[in-house]
A and B are shown apart, each in its own frame.
Chain A
Amino acid sequence: MPQLIAYFDPGSGSLLLQVLVGGSAGLVVFARYLWEAAPALLKGRKHGESTQEA
């Protein structure tokens, strides 16, 4: 089933940014996060996203 973007609350980017402004400690956390999240992120891109907002 296509995933509708409207069903995802905004805020994920805000959470990630808190890590990115965290200097070197933040970058370590971000790298670990990417390592774990990479498969999901890549899968999301591969399957494409629904542009429906209903």
Chain B
Amino acid sequence: MAGGSTIRTFETGSYRDRDARIFYGDSGEVFRALSVHALEEWQAASAARFFQQGMAEGKIVATELVDAARCPAPPDNASWAGVLKHESIPFVSYPYEWTFGMLKDAALLHLDLLQTALKEGFTIKDGTAYNVQWVGQRPVFIDVASFERLTPGQVWAGYRQFCQTFLFPLFLQAYKNVAFQPALRGCLDGLKPEEFGNLMSFRDLFRRGVLAHAYLHGKLEANRTVRKTNPQQSLHRAGFATALIQRNVTQLIRIVSRLNWSPRESTWSAYAGANSYSPDDKEHKARFVREAARARRSALVWDLGCNTGEYSRIAAESARYVIAMDADHLAVDRLYQSLKGRGVEDVSVPILPLVSNVADPSANLGWRGRERKSLAERGRPDLILCLALVHHLVIGCGIPMRELLQWLAELGASLVIEFVDKTDPMVVQLLGSRRDIYADYDAHMFDVWMNEFFNVVRCERLGSGTRALYYATSRYRP
């Protein structure tokens, strides 16, 4: 290899489908190389009414066939039959970062597209949740190469994947009140039927969809004799018809639509009504954030510890896209639901809510450790909001404050950060249940380290006297 040259590769998460692979142009444009087979399927699907309607409604990612001579060559320089160009997704996210409501809406989108495709003689060959992405609060189906013409007697090959990455995680949350994100993050293929069925109690068998899709499905998949048969051909001869898939999909739409997860409260969901801000402080803080966000139009803002998303909304007034992150699932789900309700016609608020914990963030996962990427690899922010969070990370999670500030600086962005004194009632409460070993959690040291890693543009104290806001730019360039 010549020194310094970089090897062009396909998107590292796009390797399973040999007929269609994603690669990027020099300016980040998204292309998909197609084999002869995939090109034929694309030509058939893209001419179908369901596909054109899905694309017009924003349910399927905007895609066009481009002249291969006018776009960059696919990285392997092999001869591909055609190249598609997709509209870019503002920020790639993964199902293990979504909320219950997001996973449910993504599942319904998948089923809706499959249902309309089946009516016109097409199927979706995959059933994975990773084929859905988000533009604000709008789910978008991105894997256009998974639409194929349905051959008579063909079963829904994506059903197992649909259960593993959509249905079982939703059951887990709705029926057992167990967070699905760690399970999906721990196994990218999702929850296996033969294992998930074992989690279901006798009472669960009476819940909608569990007996067939989880319990019986698990028993069949665990059966060695069944596994050794290859029923596809036999089922075809036995008269398997598309009507059976349609019936299954209709049932699944009914099951998923009625799934509900609504715990009354979580660690953080009541935060908005139980904090130590006076109305004046609140207004001051909002003004500070608004001015900092307006200082430069940001392409991407990260709001860490967003809670109700109050400041994400303020940042979104002058930023192209905001990722609103919080470790509290319920708080983020409520934010998603409220944003979803606020979208005007087809235009959603440019905020993507994600369940993400600064102390335990999404890592590089999967094949070569590059199939699913860490947050920063998917898009570095221009502006970071870190409001009322430092005390939780330093005292609650035990992260040394200097290292926290260094990590924030290494992201190379501007920063709006709030420091809350040890005398503040919220910090007093936090320290009440533990020995104060946090000598580094100190207003003076915070100021020293902020100046070490950042150029502090502005620093203001809130009227209560226990909270300070900083607006700063990083000294690092990533």
**B-contacting residues of A (Cβ < 8 Å)?**
3, 5, 8, 10-23, 25-26, 28-30, 32-33, 36-37, 40-41, 44-45, 49
Contact B212 A17 (CB under 8 A): yes
The residue that A45 contacts in the complex, of B156, B163, B225, with Cβ under 8 A, is B225
B69 in the interface (beta carbon within 8 A): no
**SS class, residues of chain A in contact with chain B:** helix
**How far does the alpha carbon of A41 sit from the alpha carbon of B219 in the complex, in Å?**
16
Given pairs A12-B227, A18-B245, A29-B235, 19 additional interface contacts (CB within 8 A)? A10-B192, A11-B221, A12-B220, A12-B221, A12-B231, A13-B219, A13-B227, A14-B159, A14-B220, A18-B159, A19-B240, A25-B241, A28-B239, A32-B237, A33-B235, A33-B238, A40-B229, A41-B225, A49-B225
Contact A13 B159 (CB under 8 A): no
- Can you list 29 residue pairs at the A/B interface with Cβ under 8 Å? A5-B227, A10-B192, A10-B194, A11-B221, A13-B193, A13-B194, A13-B226, A14-B160, A15-B155, A16-B235, A17-B212, A17-B213, A17-B220, A18-B156, A18-B159, A18-B245, A18-B248, A19-B235, A19-B244, A23-B247, A26-B247, A29-B238, A29-B239, A32-B238, A36-B238, A41-B229, A44-B228, A49-B225, A49-B228
**How far does the alpha carbon of A15 sit from the alpha carbon of B40 in the complex, in Å?**
26
Ranked nearest first, the 6 interchain pairs of A and B with the lowest CB-CB distance are: A13-B220, A13-B221, A32-B238, A14-B160, A22-B244, A33-B238
Closest to A36 in B: B234
- On chain A, the residues within 8 Å of B159 by CB distance are 14-15, 17-18
**How far does the alpha carbon of A5 sit from the alpha carbon of B241 in the complex, in Å?**
29
- On chain A, the residues within 8 Å of B222 by CB distance are 13
B16 in the interface (beta carbon within 8 A): no
Contact A33 B234 (CB under 8 A): yes
* Residue interface bits B235-270, CB-to-A below 8 A is 1, else 0: 101111101110110010000000000000000000
B216 in the interface (beta carbon within 8 A): yes
**SS class, residues of chain B in contact with chain A:** helix
Contact B224 A5 (CB under 8 A): yes
User: Considering the complex, which residues of chain B in the window 183-231 have a beta carbon less than 8 Å from any beta carbon of chain A?
Assistant: 192-194, 212-213, 216-231
Closest to B219 in A: A13
**How far does the alpha carbon of A18 sit from the alpha carbon of B247 in the complex, in Å?**
9
